[in-house]
Chain A
Amino acid sequence: MITVLAVHFAVAAVAPFLFRAWGRNAFYALAAVPAASFAWLLFQHGAVYSDAGAVSQVFPWIPGLDLEFAFRLDPLAWVMSLLILGVGALVLVYCARYFSPEDRDLGGFAAQFLAFAGVMFGLVIADDLLLMFIFWELTTILSYLLIGFARTRLAARRSALQALMVTTAGGLAMLVGLIMLGQSAGTYRISAVLAQAPTLVSGPSGATVAAAVVLILTGAISKSALVPFHFWLPGAMAAPTPVSAYLHAAAMVKAGIYLVARLAPGFSDTTYWQIIVLGLGLATMLVGGYRALRQTDIKLILAYGTVSQLGFLTMVAGLGTPDAALAGLAMLLAHGLFKATLFLVVGIIDQQAGTRDVRQLSGVFRSSRALGIVAGIGAASMAGVPLLAGFVAKESVLEAFVHHASDGEAWSMVVLVGIVIGSILTFAYSARFMWGAFAVKPGIERTTFKAVKPSFLAAPALLSLLSIVYGLWPAPVDAWVQPYAALFASTASDAGTPAEQAGHLALWHGFTASLGLTALTFALGLAMYFGRTLVARAQSRVPSWIDGDRIYQLTIGALDDTAVWITGRTQRGSLYFYLAVILTVAFVLPLTAMLMAGKPLPANLYFIDPYSPLQPVVGAGVVIGALAAVKANKRFLAVLMVSVTGYGIALMFALQGAPDLALTQVLVETIILVAFVLAMRSLPAELRDRTGGKYRVVRVIIGAAFGITMVFAAIHAMGARVAAPVSLEFPRLAYEGGGGLNIVNVTLVDIRAWDTFGEISVLALAATGVASLIFVRGRGDRSRVPDTIAEGSVGRQVAVEPGSRDAAALAISRKFAASARDAWIVAGRTLAPERRSIIFEVVTRLIFHSLIIFSLYLLLAGHNLPGGGFAGGLTAGLALAIRYLAGGRFELREATPVGAGTLLGIGLATAAASGVVPLLLGGQVLQTAIIELWLPVFGDIKFVTSTIFDIGVYIVVIGLVLDVLRSLGSEIDEHFEEQRTAPAEDLPTDHDPAAARVQEPVGVPAGAAATDQG
């Protein structure tokens, strides 16, 4: 069975390629799949109808959830599969002529169609509640896609969405019901659940089971378009007609009926079942039949007719007696045959005549008698005319309900009368369909109708032929259905054999009550047909009932409005508002919880750490820095104050006994300071507080409350600690496992190396982010070579007023710079003379290489002494920053022949390689090996492989700093120069004058130093 499923999906997956090769004829290839499966199914007959009663297959899927691919092909599933696979194959054959060769997107359409056939087959053979649900939802999604095939049409889009919403809503209810049922039963295997159904219903969890079954039925009635969900089915007629024929007549809507039939042996005795199934079924049958008579579109006549029949089928399948079960499946097959025939005929008429409107069609029968005969057989079968499938099935249905009513209950009589009325309506709309589609109507121009090709007509003709065969020779169907009907058989001794209880399908049962009812149906149905003008007039007087479609639209509209209202109230677009709400919650909830809990403060609180008595002093400095940062109204002052807190915290780290942290923090603070100066040089110096006074109070309150909450939360959290810290093991692990003395560094590169790997990925990402924010296009890894730059051209001041102090200073600095000067740094000559500082260049020349060597030392020594990849990388970055500040952007370019992006990539690759290589050597990811060897000059060397990981970190950090310098430094320099050399009117003038003032004197940072000097 799983092979059959797999073939459906596999062929569906390659269908688009088949269509590219063969055009619409590829439909034939696709039709072969369900056709072959159909043949396979016939061969399974023996096994299914053996004593075992079913063919089962189980494959484990998610053992933890008890979810299995459990399939079970029993007689019910077998009969359903006949319909699904057989009609599926025929409709696919029909599709090959329905669509024109020029139609686009047929590949995708056919793939969905074939996959749908597979999913439907999976749905009926699934023996696991959740597996069945998965197939169930897949049919919903595929149906959405298939209905919406004509996606440029509003009608198709909207009705596809409507069908999706309605059936998904039902599906959700059903999921809840399935889980409740599965949990109550202790198993999700459908056959097992049904086996213990009697004890479940009467057992202690009876109420849960009742709710579960009602919820599952909700899913079934939404899928099968029963009242009150009936409106989506006529809407779905916006689908291409083959889709309507297959999904909305033969297959998908039958899923609900199937579910009812599947559960009926277990639950049909309960009251709620009977009320829902019979009540809603009857209402649907009558509403559908009544509305079918009002339609002028022949496809809609069929659609409402289908709604009516689905109600009818639900009643029969759910009644729960052996004869009703027999009749239900018989009717299901008959309906599939005749309804598919009729839909396919409608498709042919639509394509040949260009309309489906009964007010425009005239004389179609005269143009194509074959089509008329095929349709006539289908319609007659639908109306229940003798010798056809519909008659045989409907006779046994009536028989079952007569039998049901014979117990004399009023309710049973109402059902019987309702069914007879429904049958009369069915007869009437069947006749109306034939008249509307084929008759010659006076006063209407005869429809031009192209001849129908035999290949187009083949599928409906074969279906109608089957209706005849079934009608004349119902014995095989009877044999197929009997085992299912036997499930309902009473085991009482006087009840007789199951077959006796269920009766048989036959053309002639003798003069029975049901035959009389059929005769009555025909008489009244014919009367309604001939009196159709009267009926139409009467119907037009009756006001339109509550329209399900309208209610749906109102519901969705109300939902939209509510969503907009809530969004409008909460989504205010103000970051301040969002943060204030979030932060208020963040302190109110924990503070309340802590006050309510009323736990005493832990005992061991101290202000002065005996091992580090200086902390309060440094701490005071940090707090003062933070407060000054809050008060500062100059941009750089605020930045400096934040730096003060940063350096202060570095000191705190040192006092706490964390040299690595202190080192790293100092390096980071320094580089951040440089980055700030570079990025903010174009922004106005003043930092105005633009938030009003009222808000300031709120901000103070939120800030203070949050700070206090954090203090108390920290005290309580730390006081609650009972276990010994996991890190007590770290020294030993670091030395023995990691082969290093610096525990923090070994933690980073070995014990918690995954963390660090994640971190350097974030660094690479952030670096790329910075570069893309500034460069906009590309990463800017390729910039111009300094050799092409004219001497002294970079950062030249041009907009200086003649005669001003600036001009004088400029003249002096240019005079000095003009004297011959040895190049201390490579690209120093490119800088404008007034930008250069000889001292800075000399110092850079002296310390750059020392810093690089020092960074390498930090990197390699870091395993045993403070340092490591982060500190080393930051030091190297600092060295680059000095080069840039002294020599400008071309100096930076000279200092780094490799682009920042390449560095980031190499670093990540190195770290990744150090993680993957141990895996290839049979170890674990990121496992460390310690290699001890002797080298001539160095002597004994202990090499730990995690150093390679650290080298990766080192390179990534350099890449990050380089990206920051290139973006916030070099690239912004270039923006400045472009602006400065541009004509004055192009300069943006709409900003406040403060900004313009700042831009002039502050340029390349080195320039500022140079000017001061001059």
Chain B
Amino acid sequence: MSINLTLLTVMGALYACGIYLILERSLTRVLLGLMLLANATNLLILATGGYAGLAPLYNKDTAAQEYSDPLPQALILTSIVISFAVTAFMLGIIYRTWVLARQDEIQDDVEDLRVAETPRFDAEDDAPIPAETSEFPLTMLGSDGGAVSDHPPTAERPEASGGFVTVGAKEIPAADAAAEEQPGSQNVTPGPEGGVK
């Protein structure tokens, strides 16, 4: 098996540059890094074909070894077009990030960080259960399950109190705020810029 070091060296350089770029916070650089990685990988696949050869257009007088290997070429062709689709998708993400947050940076995930601060106490696991000496009324009762709720009556849900919730700088009715938390809520009309219109 012949090994073309020129192709592999270029490949190595592209991998190095690509990795350097994807380890960056700027989304644009990450995308460029991904494109370099894709190019590097295409070169790797190309190198597996061995020596350069004739274009793989069939001629019955040509021996199979004389063509440039067609199989890596088919794979690379697929890869080129897929990379285009991925690039376009990433561009969409970059644009949307910019529109929503006015930044082109990968932020640390606050939710992930919050996991480390999960409190030991989990109501579902650790809250004391009041001793029950009857299962009636059964809790699947039709009209209102309120009487048998686990929540103590003092801690009323905000939507029941009809108050207002402060969101950012605005005060909005608590009922709306609760509704907005529901996915697919009718109250939420996202503008083309994202967020609430």
Contacts and interface: CB of A to CB of B under 8 A. Distances in A.
Contacts of B117: 568
Contact of A967 (B23, B67, B92): B92
B178 interface: no
B19 A683 contact: no
A351 B192 contact: no
Given A609-B52, A687-B29, A727-B71, A629 B36 contact: yes
Contacts of B49: 656
Nearest to A658: B73
B138 interface: yes
B138 A240 contact: yes
Interface string B70-94: 1111101110111111111101111
Contacts of B194: 776
A581 B7 CA distance: 28
From B23, B108, B129, B145, residue with most partner A Cβ within 10 Å:
B23
B82 A627 contact: no
B10 to A, nearest CB: 4
A148 to B, nearest CB: 11
A557 B127 CA distance: 12
B16 to A, nearest CB: 3
B148 interface: yes
Contacts of B110: 573
A283 B40 CA distance: 68
Given A714-B44, A718-B48, A766-B89, A602 B19 contact: no
A730 B127 contact: no
A202 interface: no
Interface string B184-197: 00000010111000
A33 B20 CA distance: 68
B24 interface: yes
From B22, B43, B120, B138, residue with most partner A Cβ within 10 Å:
B138
A572 B73 contact: no
A573 B73 contact: no
Interface in A344-365: 350-351, 354-357, 360
Contact of B71 (A635, A725, A741): A725
Contacts of A773: 89, 92-93, 95-96
Interface string B1-25: 1111111111111111111111111
Interface string A926-950: 0000000000000000000000000
A153 B36 contact: no
A645 B136 CA distance: 75
Nearest to B129: A155
Contacts of B94: 679-680, 683
Interface residues of A, number: 168
B54 interface: yes
Contacts of B181: none
B139 to A, nearest CB: 4
Contact of A774 (B42, B95, B125, B131): B95
Contacts of A801: none
Contact of A660 (B12, B77, B89, B139): B77
A710 B70 contact: no
Nearest to B4: A609
B135 interface: yes
A668 B16 contact: no
Given A606-B5, A690-B105, A704 B16 contact: yes
Given A656-B52, A661-B80, A703 B23 contact: yes
A50 B184 CA distance: 65
Interface residues of B, number: 124
B44 A710 contact: yes
Contacts of A664: 77, 80-81
A563 to B, nearest CB: 9
Contacts of B95: 679-680, 682, 773-774, 968, 972
Contact of B23 (A611, A691, A751): A691
Interface string A967-984: 110011011001000000
From B22, B55, B77, residue with most partner A Cβ within 10 Å:
B77
B109 to A, nearest CB: 4
A995 B116 CA distance: 36
Contacts of A727: 69-72
B25 to A, nearest CB: 5
Contacts of B112: 571-573
Contacts of B74: 744, 747-748, 751-752, 755
Interface string A710-722: 1100110011010
Contact of A626 (B17, B28, B115, B141): B17
Name A's interface SS: helix
A297 B134 CA distance: 9
Interface string A951-995: 000000100100110011001101100100000000010110001
Given A609-B6, A774-B96, A661 B76 contact: yes
Nearest to A351: B136
A642 B32 contact: yes
Interface stretch (A38-46, A97-105, A183-191, A481-489): A97-105
Interface string A725-764: 1111111101100001111100110011001100100110
B98 A150 contact: no
B182 interface: no
B162 interface: no
A655 B52 contact: yes
A606 B70 CA distance: 21
Nearest to B114: A573
B47 A355 contact: no
A612 interface: yes
Nearest to A602: B3
A656 B50 CA distance: 9
B96 A658 contact: no
B99 interface: yes
A680 B150 CA distance: 52
Interface stretch (A1-9, A75-83, A273-281, A862-870): A862-870
B155 interface: no
B135 A240 contact: yes
17 contacts: A153-B139, A156-B139, A158-B124, A556-B125, A623-B14, A629-B36, A653-B46, A659-B55, A661-B73, A679-B95, A683-B28, A690-B25, A711-B11, A767-B85, A776-B192, A975-B99, A988-B102
Given A355-B133, A623-B10, A743-B67, 4 more contacts: A153-B139, A605-B3, A657-B52, A773-B96
Interface of B: 1-26, 28-29, 32, 35-36, 39-40, 42-44, 46-60, 62, 64-65, 67-74, 76-78, 80-89, 91-96, 98-99, 102-106, 108-113, 115-118, 120, 122, 124-127, 129, 131-136, 138-142, 145, 148-150, 190, 192-194
The 8 A-B residue pairs with the shortest CB-CB distance, nearest first, are A568-B116, A657-B68, A573-B112, A707-B16, A773-B92, A766-B85, A573-B109, A727-B71
